[in-house]
Amino acid sequence: MNCETYLSILATLPIDELTHGDARAHVATCRDCDRVSRVVAERERNMLMAFGELYPPTPADRFASRAVEISLRRRIGRYYRIGLGVVAGAMLLSIVVVRRVVPTNAMVNETLRLQCLSPDQAIEIVGPRSKNMVVYVGPTAPNVINIAAPAAELTRIRALMDVYDNPAASQCRVQPAVPASTKAP
């Protein structure tokens, strides 16, 4: 056996297996291979001592039970995610359905031209009898009010205004400028 063969065997086998046969005879006669063998043997001993004292941080049975527990939690978490997804979808669907339904108390705007009443008088008449109403008095047209109210309420307001702001039935009707006695024959 030569040095190259011994070093190739030493690279692949543990040092304990080279203590018999041709390898032992070569080490006894070759000073370089003997020195390399002693260094390798000491490093193997140090490594065995270092790794022999190491203990796993958790025992295998606890590690396995923890892995099973985590797997179970992930499975349950998946069901929760699916359930929350279904709930979120139902909520979005209900929001879409509610938004499509036209509310019955939608505000409608209407402009009313006053014939006999002032805007303040009209508000005093309509205000106490009507809820959910917004009245705008325009500064440019003194006999015009804008009312925003639900459709049913607006119908009732129009009926009130027909009763109280009617020139034929109230005292504000236009009087003829010429007296009746001065009519031509």
As averages over each run of 10 residues, the pLDDT of the chain (185 residues) reads 86 80 86 90 86 74 90 93 95 86 70 81 76 73 80 83 74 55 53
Judge if 45 and 17 occupy the same domain.
yes
What range does the domain containing 17 cover?
3-52
How much is the pLDDT for 169?
Answer: 65
Strand partners, 111: 146
Per-residue pLDDT tens for 39-71?
Answer: 988 988 888 888 777 776 777 888 889 999 999
- The residue type found at 39 is V
Same domain? For 124 and 84 the reply is no
Q: What percent of the chain has pLDDT over 90?
A: 17
Lay out the sheet containing 107-113: strands in order across: 107-113, 144-150, 134-137
pLDDT of residue 182: 54
The C-alpha R_g of the chain, in whole angstroms, comes to 52
With beta carbons less than 8 A apart as the criterion, state whether 119 and 137 touch: yes
Would 91 be classed as within a structural domain? Answer: yes
What distance in Å separates the CA atoms of residue 130 and residue 149, rounded to the nearest whole number?
9
Residues 111 and 148 in one domain: yes
> What is the DSSP code string of 48-62?
HHHHHS---SS-HHH
In a domain, 182, yes or no: no
Same domain? 114 vs 145:
yes
Strands 134-137 and 107-113: unpaired
Please state, rounded to an integer, the average pLDDT across all residues of the chain.
Answer: 80
Judge whether 184 lies within some domain: no
